[in-house]
Amino acid sequence: MIKIAINGFGRIGALTAKRMLEKHPFLQLAAVNDLANEENLKQSFGQQLNAKFFAEKDPANLPWKDLGIDLVLECSGFFTEIDGAKKHLLAGAKKVIISAPSDSPEIPTYLLGVNAEKYNPAQDDMISMGSCTTNAVAPVAKILDKHFGVKAGFINTTHSYTNSQNKQYPNWRADPASQLSIIPSTTGASKTVEKCLPQLKGKLNGLS
């Protein structure tokens, strides 16, 4: 039995928990850390949860060692870089998977169907599994490059709301309400794809 903790119980965290409970009985959801009200989280989830709930801002203060946590799924979107993700290890977890891109060169990115076979459990304690866009684009880019060769590519992603879009956002293109205005902005998807497919470095660009 593998003991798992989820940090951040929003859409990604909750859907991952749902999949675990339905399809993977060898995975135990031992703990959930989210700043939202515990009862509200359980009610919105709609299924029985026997996990321990915490509302701790600093992952370093979480009792992962006492709970024997094998793996933390970092789904909050806040601890994507090495200094933040490492706090889970300092708290006693053995491994960390980040559900978002990471700019830290020390944290490798692995995408299923693209380069996941390069994962080394002996040395990879913290990994990123990219973003929704990179998981959609990278497998297609890999196949196209393998069979035809990619000279240049452009990624155009229509994105949903994100919790980073608010009136204090430094990029004014991300500020307006999307119901009233859709303004092209940047995407880091091409950079993440290039990390997993280095042969495409310098060949991809994109907008969101």
75 is catalytic: no
Cβ density class 96-119: b for 16+ within 10 Å, e for less: bbbbbbbebeebbbbbeebbeeee
What does residue 14 show for φ and ψ, rounded to 5 degrees?
Answer: -70, -40
Task: Count the Cβ atoms, other than its own, within 10 Å of residue 46.
Answer: 9
Distance, CA of 58 to CA of 73 (rounded, Å): 15
Token duo for residue 146 = 């393998």
Residue from 49, 89, 132, 150 carrying the catalytic annotation = 132
Minimal CA–CA distance to 101: which of 77, 123, 120? 77
Q: 109 near 130, Cβ under 8 Å? A: yes
**Residue positions annotated with a catalytic role:** 132
